[in-house]
Structure 1
C-alpha cells in the first residue's frame, strides 16, 4: 500500500506527516477452473433453473438423490466421490410432462363454503405427494389470520409460516410470504376468506365454561374411545379458562389407549385460540379425523367443523426423461443447456444421458449444440462414448460419426465404468463423464489446470472395473483418433489414460490437440476478460496501455512461477503487447484498444521413450562385479575398462 510523506492537511507543527493512500494497482484474480454443470433428468428440483450445490448431500436435498431413471444423480455422486467440489445442476424434463402435487383448502366461515387457497408443490414430481399441510388460527388476530405448516410424509415439520393473511394489501399476504420463503410449496388465492383449520374446531365458548364433568366419546379414524372430561377427585381444580380446558382435554386424550402401532391418541394436540379449541390427531394420516360423538360433545361445542389433521397434496407426477430437443433447449427461454447462460462460472459440462441414446444422430445433435455453447461460454465438454461401443473395434468404427462435431472444446472418453449401484448393491455400467469431471477437479486443485488430468495420478475412485479392458495395442489405435481411453493398470487400478480433445486426432494436426492446453487457454482468456473490465471508458492512451501491460504481465508471471508455461525465463514463456503497434489512430478513434497476449503452454509427455543399452560386465578374480572405484578408464563406447 503506497504512503505519502506529506499530509493533505496543512502542516501545523514541524515534523513528518504520514498519510495512507488507497492502492492504484489493479490485479487479475484467478477464477474457478472445475465448476461442473450437469444437465438432465432428476427426481425433483426446479426445471430449467441452474442450482449450485457443493456436496452430494445438498444434491439429495434439492434434487432428490439417486434414481434408477436419472443418470445425472449417479454422475453427480461420482463427481464428488472423485474430488469435485462445486456443481451446477439443471433439471430438464420432456416438454409438457410432469405435474405438481396440489391440494385446495376450503373455507366454511360465516355463510361461505368455497375454495379459498390452492397449495402446490413448488416443483413437479411424485415427491410432492409426500407433502402435508396443516392450518391453525392460533395467532394474535385469531379472527383474521392463520398459520400454515408443511410436513413431510414421515410427519416431520419442514416449514412454518405464521400470521398469514388473505388480504392482498397486507404485508403478510399468504401467496407473497409463502412464495418468497418456501422451498417446498407455493400458494395461490382462489377465493375470498381464509382456510379452515385442520382437525376438529369447537364452537366459541362463552365467558363461563359449561359443566365439564361429562362423559365423552371420541373417534379417531376407526378407533373409538370413551373418557370422563373432568373428574374433581382426580383432576384438581376445575378449569376456568379456555386455555386450561384445552390442556385438560389434551391430557385426557393422550392417556387413552392407542390402536396397535398408532400414535393418533398419544400425540394429540389441543390448541386454544380466541374462545375456541382445535383438536388434531397426533399423526399425519389424513384418515385420522377426530370426531366427538353424542349430546355431551354437542353441548361443549366440540361437534363443529371436522377436518383431517393434515391436508395431503396429491396428483404429482415425475416428468419424462428429456429428448434431444429438450436437452438443447431454447436460447430465448433459457431452457435445457441454454439455462447455463444465466451462470457466470461454469468450466465443465457433463451430459451423461447421451450415452443411453440409441440413435447416433440424436447424440450428435446434442453434442453439436453443446459444443457451440461451450465455445461461446468458454466451457469444456466431457463427452461419454455411446453405450453401444462394446469393444475397441466398435469404438474405432463409431468414432468416424463424430467427425462432424470435432472441436477443441470437447473430449471423448471410453469405455464406461463398472461401479456398485448404491440403490441395489449390484455392479452396473455407468458413463464415465461424472467421474472424469471429479478427476479433473482434483487434478486442478493439486497441480493446476495446466496439468493433464490423466496418468497414474488420475485414478478413478470407487470404480470396480471397466466395461472394456483395453490393451496397449487397442489404446494405440484409439488414441490417434482423439479417443481418451480409460485403462486398468496393475497396482494402480482404473485410471484416465488419455488427454486429447476431439480435435486431437493425429490427422487433424491441431495446435489444440491436448485437453490441458485448451483448458489453460480458456482459463487465461476468461481471467483476462474479467480482470480488464476496468479498462472500459478509460482514456485510450499510452498511460492506459502501460497499466494493461503491467496488470496482464503480473497475472501471467504468477502462472509462470507455478509451472503453467514452458521456458526458463518469462520472455520465453509469455508476452503481452499493448502499444502504438497494436492500437492505431483509427482504433483510438473507434474506441478500441487491442491487447496481444502470447503463451507457451506445457504439453503433456504423452509418449515416454526410454533407451536401454546392455553393458558387458567382467568378473574380478574374487568372482564379483568390479566396483566403480576400481575402474581406471571410461572409453567413448560407454564401457568401463579395468
Structure 2
C-alpha cells in the first residue's frame, strides 16, 4: 500500500519491480522405456542414481537392456532419469498369500496380501503378524520383509474393521512400496509363529525341562533355574524375556540364526515365539507334556508367511512400447511428465525386424515433437560393419527427423553379472555424455569430440577408420571412435535429418537441442501473460523478460555474434500483434537466435618456406 505521510520527514517505501524472470529449464533428464526386473508398470518413476534404480526396479538382469543403459547413463555423468517399465500385454503376475483367521467359530480367509508389482521378485516377500499393540485383543501389527532386496516395512495398530481409523487397507495400500492388501473378513489374521494359551495372573511352575524344535533342529533346555536365573518372572512380560534369553543361548545349526535371533513377545496375557529367520520352514514347536502344561502348543504357524506365484512379464513388443495414449501406457506414459529432455529405447537395437524398429521410432518421434524431447536412436545390432550400416540406413529414410540422432556402433563393456565382455546399445552412455557436456559447457556445446569420452567402454563392436567415418558422417550417422591416448569417444553431432543431401537447418544436435531449450524455457516463463491486458505495457514486459533470458545465454556463449543485436532479437509490438489479434485475444512474440554451430571440420594448411615452415589454420 502507498505510504500516507502524517508528519514532516522522510518516508521509505519498497516497491515491487514488476519484472518476471524466465528460468532456464532442464536439458538432460533422460527417459528410459522398456523391460525391467520389477517396478510399477507404465508409471514414470524419477530416479537420481543407479542405487535408486536397483531399489525400485531390481537392478541388472540379462533380459533388460534398459537396466544396463541406465547404469551406463549414470556412469558417464547422468544425474536424473525417468524410468517407465513396460511388459508384454497380458503377461506377468503379482505374488500373493492369503492369511487366515481362527478368531471366529471356524477358520476363514481374513487378509490377502499381494506384491505391489508383478514379477518373480514378489515371491521373495515375507509378511509377519503379531498382536503386540495397545489393544492386543482388537488390533494387529503387520511387518513386511524382502528376503532378496533387504527392504523392511512395518505397520502398527491395524484393524480389520472398515470403520476403524487404522483400517488395514487405508493404512497399508498408500503407505507400502512392497505390498497391497485386501481385507476379506472383519476378523484379524492369525499371528505368525507359536502363540501360547492365555496365562493366569499367577504363573505356573516354570522350573521345567522343555524340548523345542525349529525346522529340523531339536534342542532341550530348562526354562527356569533358580540357581542361575535369580528371581522367578513376576508376569508374562518377564516370562517372555526369560524364554527369549534361553532360546537365544541354544546352539544353532551351522550358518543359521533361527535360535540366535529368536524373538518372544508378550501381548496381553499371551506369548508369541518367532524364530530368528525369514524361512517359512523354521516353525517353532514346543513338544512334550511340560510344554502342553504351559500352553506353548496352542497355535503353531510359520514365523513368516511367504508370498508366492509371482511371474515376470514377457519383454515388450513394438505395440507394447508404443502404448496407448488413452491409457497412458508405454511411451505415452511420458505425456504427463514434465522436464524430460532425452529419450532412450535400448531394446530396439535387438529387434530382428528393421520395420518394427522404425515403427516404434516413428511413434517416439511424434511424442518427441509434441513434448520437445530429443530421441537417441541405437543402430541395429545387425550393423556389423560400415558397409552394412550404409546399406541398412535406407530403412531409416522415413524417420529422418531433426528431433533424433543415430549412433553407431555398439559398445563393448564388461558385464558385471558375468565378468565377460558384452556388446551394448550406446544410447545410455551417450545420454550420460550429453548430460555431462551440458553441465560442464552448456546445451549449445556439441556432445562430441575428445571431451566426450565414454567411461567404462573397453572396445567397440566395429573399429571405424577415418575413411569409413567420412562416408557415414555425411549421411547423418554419429559414429563412435577409439583414438590413441584418448580412448573411446562420441565422434559425431548430427541429427537424423543432418544428411548433407537434405540441407536441413537443423543439421546439428546442439543447434536443435538449444532451440528446444529456448522454446521450453520461454513457453514456461511466459505463462503469466495469459489473461493479462493485451496492450503496449504487456508487450514491453514480454520484450524485457525474454531479452533478459536470452542475454544470459548470450553471455554464457550460447549464440554467435559479438553483440546482443547480432546474437538474438525479441519483437513484440503492433507489427507482430495487429488489432485483429488483440480482438481475438492473441499476442504474438517473435524470437530469433543465432546459434553457435560446431566446428565439424578443421583444416590445417602447411606452407614450406626457405629453411623453415609455418602452420596456418582455418
TM exceeds 0.5? yes
Paired with 1:22 and 1:28, the residues of 2 have a C-alpha distance of: 17
Equivalent of 2:88 in 88, 94, 100: 94
1:213 aligns with 2:207: yes
Paired with 2:253 and 2:524, the residues of 1 have a C-alpha distance of: 67
Equivalent of 1:382 in 376, 385, 400: 376
| 8 A contact 1:100–1:128 mirrored in 2 | yes
Equivalent of 1:365 in 341, 359, 362: 359
| 8 A contact 1:154–1:284 mirrored in 2 | no
Matched with 1:633 is none
Q: How does 1:287-298 map to 2 (within 5 A)?
A: 287-298=281-292
CA-CA distance at 1:617 after TM superposition: 2.3
| 8 A contact 1:149–1:157 mirrored in 2 | no
Secondary structure at the residue paired with 1:84?
Answer: coil
Matched with 2:129 is 135
Bigger Cα Rg: 1
User: C-alpha deviations, 1:494-531, integer Å up to 9, x for none?
Assistant: 11111110111111111011101100000000000000
Secondary structure at the residue paired with 1:163?
Answer: strand
Q: How does 1:248-327 map to 2 (within 5 A)?
A: 248-327=242-321
Q: 1:154 to 1:560 in 2, by over 3 A?
A: closer
TM-score, L = length of structure 1: 0.94
Equivalent of 2:66 in 52, 72, 84: 72
| 8 A contact 1:205–1:275 mirrored in 2 | yes
More displaced stretch, 608-617 vs 49-58 = 608-617
Q: How does 1:221-232 map to 2 (within 5 A)?
A: 221-232=215-226
Matched with 1:431 is 425
Matched with 1:188 is 182
Equivalent of 1:572 in 558, 566, 585: 566
Gap runs ≥5 in structure 1: 1-6, 619-624, 629-637
Equivalent of 1:563 in 557, 561, 582: 557
Paired with 2:5 and 2:414, the residues of 1 have a C-alpha distance of: 77
User: C-alpha deviations, 1:210-269, integer Å up to 9, x for none?
Assistant: 222222222211222222222223222222211111112112222222223322222211
CA-CA distance at 1:285 after TM superposition: 1.1
1:480 aligns with 2:478: no
Paired with 2:148 and 2:432, the residues of 1 have a C-alpha distance of: 34
Paired with 1:404 and 1:498, the residues of 2 have a C-alpha distance of: 21
Paired with 2:481 and 2:18, the residues of 1 have a C-alpha distance of: 52
Matched with 2:410 is 416
User: C-alpha deviations, 1:459-484, integer Å up to 9, x for none?
Assistant: 11111111111111111111111111
Paired with 1:448 and 1:247, the residues of 2 have a C-alpha distance of: 63
RMSD value, Cα: 1.6
User: C-alpha deviations, 1:304-332, integer Å up to 9, x for none?
Assistant: 11101111111112111100000000111
1:456 aligns with 2:461: no
Matched with 2:532 is 538
Matched with 2:139 is 145
| 8 A contact 1:155–1:284 mirrored in 2 | no
Paired with 1:475 and 1:557, the residues of 2 have a C-alpha distance of: 37
Q: How does 1:190-205 map to 2 (within 5 A)?
A: 190-205=184-199
1:107 aligns with 2:93: no
1:446 aligns with 2:440: yes
Q: 1:385 to 1:555 in 2, by over 3 A?
A: same
Secondary structure at the residue paired with 1:120?
Answer: strand
Paired with 1:547 and 1:387, the residues of 2 have a C-alpha distance of: 53
| 8 A contact 1:352–1:384 mirrored in 2 | yes
Q: How does 1:336-375 map to 2 (within 5 A)?
A: 336-375=330-369
Equivalent of 2:501 in 493, 496, 507: 507
CA-CA distance at 1:207 after TM superposition: 1.9
TM-score, L = length of structure 2: 0.97
User: C-alpha deviations, 1:277-327, integer Å up to 9, x for none?
Assistant: 001111111111111112222221111111011111111121111000000
CA-CA distance at 1:157 after TM superposition: 6.2
Secondary structure at the residue paired with 1:90?
Answer: strand
| 8 A contact 1:100–1:125 mirrored in 2 | yes
1:489 aligns with 2:486: no
Matched with 1:85 is 79
Matched with 1:635 is none
1:407 aligns with 2:422: no
User: C-alpha deviations, 1:148-207, integer Å up to 9, x for none?
Assistant: 111121695611111011111122111111112111111111223011111110111112
More displaced stretch, 457-466 vs 521-530 = 457-466
| 8 A contact 1:566–1:600 mirrored in 2 | yes
| 8 A contact 1:155–1:283 mirrored in 2 | no
Q: 1:155 to 1:216 in 2, by over 3 A?
A: farther
Matched with 1:631 is none
| 8 A contact 2:3–2:13 mirrored in 1 | no
Matched with 2:464 is 470
| 8 A contact 2:73–2:430 mirrored in 1 | yes
Secondary structure at the residue paired with 2:286?
Answer: strand
| 8 A contact 1:540–1:591 mirrored in 2 | yes
Equivalent of 1:552 in 537, 546, 551: 546
Matched with 1:241 is 235
More displaced stretch, 200-209 vs 387-396 = 200-209
| 8 A contact 1:576–1:597 mirrored in 2 | yes
Matched with 2:587 is 593
Paired with 1:429 and 1:212, the residues of 2 have a C-alpha distance of: 67
Aligned pairs, number: 615
| 8 A contact 2:55–2:149 mirrored in 1 | no
Paired with 2:417 and 2:84, the residues of 1 have a C-alpha distance of: 23
| 8 A contact 2:131–2:141 mirrored in 1 | yes
| 8 A contact 1:133–1:148 mirrored in 2 | yes
More displaced stretch, 601-610 vs 526-535 = 601-610
